[in-house]
Amino acid sequence: MPSNLLLVYKRKGEIQPRYAKLSPENIQIASRLIEFYAAHVGAQKKVLTQFVSELENQGYEYRFVRGLALLLDRKSNFSCKSKIPPSDLRQRVFQITQKHGIPTTPVCREQILTNVATELSLSVQLLEELLYADLDSELIIETFEAPTASDLLCQYNLSLTQTLLFECSELSFRVSGNWQQLFYAIKKLGLIYEVFQEPEVCVKIDGPSSLFKLTKRYGVNTAKLMPLIVANPHWSIDAKILWKYTNEVCDFKLDATRHRWLFGVSVFAPVRYDSTVEESFASQFRAVDSGWTLTREPGPVLAGRRILLPDFLLARGGLCVYLEIVGFWTEDYLRRKAEKLSQVDVKMIVMVHESLACERLVALEKRPQLYFIYYRDKISLAPVLGYLQKEFEAIKVKEIAMLQSLSITFTEPVVDYVEFASRLGVSVESVRAVLTAKPPVGYVLLANGLMNQARLLHLARVLRGALNELGALTLSQATVLLEAEGVEDISGVLACLGYTIRWCGISSAHAQLVSPKADYFS
């Protein structure tokens, strides 16, 4: 919005717009404006302007009210009611005036208008109404797309942010996704950017105040990134604002944790596949129980001073392997792709269509970070899974050696393999291999983890007490008792305590728990 409608706070070198809270008072103002616009479809724009002036006279901050009205104007469609272009009418009046001379009296003026009206088969009154019907205040509101009051306030907050960014000297941001759209927009808008890994990927945009020309247009283009940034579940921005009124540089910071409410809840658009090859590969891979998770468009990977946006990320435990499908051909595309691949430092599978094999790509096969797989009609999973398994086994050997070198002492009653592996950043398989080979003293092996003997003894007493009280125990009753104790691996605990199950049909309600010949700790 215009800079004269921007409201800011400045304190100790920091600056921030005066955002509109979703308070009852602000909701009421926004609702009144929306209702008035909706009720006056077909009226002249000056009627709307008059209502805005009335609100200002009632004591509301005029820049806030005008800002809301400006956003509602953008949701309205205004048109000129005259079927004859007013510019043509004015031109005809001026021609008649030139012929008969400048009117110096009301009578002369009336005569000129009468001549034009008669010529066009109009009344003098209608001619005067249409003469300047194309002025902004005379336009008619034809349609109006009414937002909710809260949406209008969120749009107002976003517009304030964008207006402030017109004056930024640099803008850095981090997001949790939406990378492909963001970089497409950055390049389309002609913005100058750098990418850093610290450890998250951070993008720095040179702001308009750091350039020597195209300042206004460049500032508008920088601000256009804001809707794409705040559409993410997690984001943060950090900008330097050159405040022209005091000629000082101020810090401007926002992050999703504290400020998401300002811009509302954005719908994160689902990621679309760029080709049927990618979609087919993803569908096949997810259908196979490989132990690897597949993420579409995981985010940028640094390639020197540029970035590469891989198609997929394959993860298992602490191992991450990116996958890039090279399936679009132009000579310039292959050149740029090869240059980027020559500078990446992460493990990456590069799927290349046989028709795209070229010297640039073949030369990259010697890089240990890259593994090339060529395909013809569709991608085969076998070589992909083979490479992943080989890499996983190699990393598993290192993880096991690392775990064996650690002096691990458990104090919790239950150790879950998955949770423990996640805590150390290793695979579940490595944790399972080490702990099952040499269980910690005082712990018993279960299917999905460890349980200390004190905890197991307590569960044994709970089940024995129920058996003594009821005389018999069904599997359903035992399940209820163990779940109340926080046990997840019901069958593992029962088996460890020596219980067996006598099935009478397929229902667990009729399955009987058979006591062990001796108590677990007897």
What's the pLDDT score for residue 213?
45
Question: Any bridge partners for residue 513, and if so which?
Answer: 501
**Residue tagged 């299917």 (tokens):** 447
Residues 420, 497, single domain; the answer is yes
330 band by pLDDT with thresholds 50, 70 and 90: low
151 band by pLDDT with thresholds 50, 70 and 90: very high
What's the pLDDT score for residue 325?
86
Residues 387, 285, single domain; the answer is yes
- Is residue 320 assigned to a domain? yes
Residues 117, 189, single domain; the answer is no
Backbone region of residue 148 per phi and psi (left: phi > 0; alpha: psi in -120 to 50; beta: other values): beta
- Is residue 72 assigned to a domain? no
Percent of the chain's residues with pLDDT above 90: 24
Tell me, what CATH number does 225's domain have? 3.30.70
Least confident of 38-47, 175-184, 211-220, 432-441: 211-220
The model's pTM: 0.66
Q: What share of the chain is helix, strand, coil (3-state, %, to 5)?
A: 50, 20, 30
- Is residue 57 assigned to a domain? no
- Is residue 77 assigned to a domain? no
Residue 27 predicted with pLDDT over 70: yes
Residue-wise over 457-490: b if at least 16 C-beta within 10 A, else e? eebbebbbebbeeeeebbbebbbebbeeeebebe
- Give me the phi and psi of 51, to 5 degrees please: -65, -40
Residues 176, 105, single domain; the answer is no
189 band by pLDDT with thresholds 50, 70 and 90: confident
Residues 174, 262, single domain; the answer is yes
Residues 281, 372, single domain; the answer is yes
Q: Quote the tokens at residue 64.
A: 């806030």
214 band by pLDDT with thresholds 50, 70 and 90: very low
Least confident of 27-36, 219-228, 253-262, 510-519: 510-519
Q: Quote the tokens at residue 372.
A: 């090339």
Residues 285, 260, single domain; the answer is no
Tell me, what CATH number does 377's domain have? 3.40.1350
Q: What is the average pLDDT across 158-185?
A: 87
Residues 218, 319, single domain; the answer is no
Q: What is the average pLDDT across 359-366?
A: 71
- Is residue 383 assigned to a domain? yes
- Is residue 6 assigned to a domain? no
367 band by pLDDT with thresholds 50, 70 and 90: confident
Residues 198, 223, single domain; the answer is yes
Q: Which of 358, 392, 426 finishes a domain? A: 392
Q: Are 355 and 326 in contact (CB under 8 A)?
A: no
* Angle in degrees, CA 470, 472, 477, rounded to 5: 80
- Is residue 67 assigned to a domain? no
What's the pLDDT score for residue 158?
93
Cα torsion at 318, 322, 323, 328 (round to 10°)?
A: 170
CA gap 48, 78 in Å, rounded: 12
Residues 256, 284, single domain; the answer is no
- Is residue 56 assigned to a domain? no
Q: pLDDT: is 163 or 357 the higher one?
A: 163
Question: If you average pLDDT over every residue of the chain, what do you get?
Answer: 84
CA gap 25, 64 in Å, rounded: 12
Report the number of distinct structural domains present in the chain: 4
**Residue tagged 């990618």 (tokens):** 278
Amino acid at 45: K
Helix 256-263 and helix 149-165: axis angle, to 10°?
120
- CA dist list (Å): 358 to 330, 349, 361, 374, 439: 12, 17, 6, 12, 53
Residues 257, 286, single domain; the answer is no
Backbone region of residue 4 per phi and psi (left: phi > 0; alpha: psi in -120 to 50; beta: other values): alpha
Q: What is the average pLDDT across 311-316?
A: 90
What's the pLDDT score for residue 212?
46
Q: Are 129 and 86 in contact (CB under 8 A)?
A: no
Which domain covers residue 113, as residue numbers? 82-132
